[in-house]
Amino acid sequence: MQEIVFVTHNKGKIASAQKNLKDVNIKIYDYELDEPRSDDIAYISKAKVEEAYEIVQKPCISLDCGFWIDELNGFPKAFVNFALETIGIEGILKLMEGKTNRACRFTECLSYYDGKELHQFEGRHEGTLAEEIRGKDTKEKWSNLWYIYQPAGYQKTLAEMTKEERAERIRHESIDSMKEFAKWYLEHNQ
């Protein structure tokens, strides 16, 4: 099986790839790719994987994520890192004060590019926003949203869940882009 390069410096994405793509030969190349200004995560992921391919000249993957809050017309969308750096989770909760619709979701797009063909795999993780910051740090934390995001079907934030509960939640998610990619890749590259 050929090697696929994941060009990223994001430790959370690296950990997720190593966990979810065990049957795929992934090599990590630590580099921060340019991120175009857009709220279209598929477009961002495509631009990043094409840049990654130009750097390493091998088949690559790129993963881009966004966070949508229904009550705020989708804010912060693909600008989640900017929102966390400026207003933080405290600011997000302030914007949600008095709001009853607390539906939100993570969306993700994994792009695979081999220099000729682009394939994209989308994921979606539904949930609700807690009304306050809850939970504690663990080595699995990948974002401060960890403290306010409650996966669908749970009354706990990710930061309050046990490792086993988080694993169970992932098994029941509707679509996970890395799992969809791994399934496709293994079917087409045996």
The catalytic residue positions are 64
Do the Cβ atoms of 133 and 149 come closer than 8 Å?
Answer: no
CA 183 → CA 95, 109, 149, 166, 190, distances in Å? 39, 15, 27, 21, 11
- What is the phi/psi pair of residue 33, to 5°? -80, 155
Query: Which of the 8 DSSP states describes residue 94?
Result: H
How many H helices and E strands in the chain?
Answer: 6, 7
Do the Cβ atoms of 28 and 184 come closer than 8 Å?
Answer: no
Structure tokens at 115: 């220099």
Do the Cβ atoms of 167 and 8 come closer than 8 Å?
Answer: no
Burial (Cβ within 10 Å: 0-12, 13-18, ≥19) of residue 147: buried
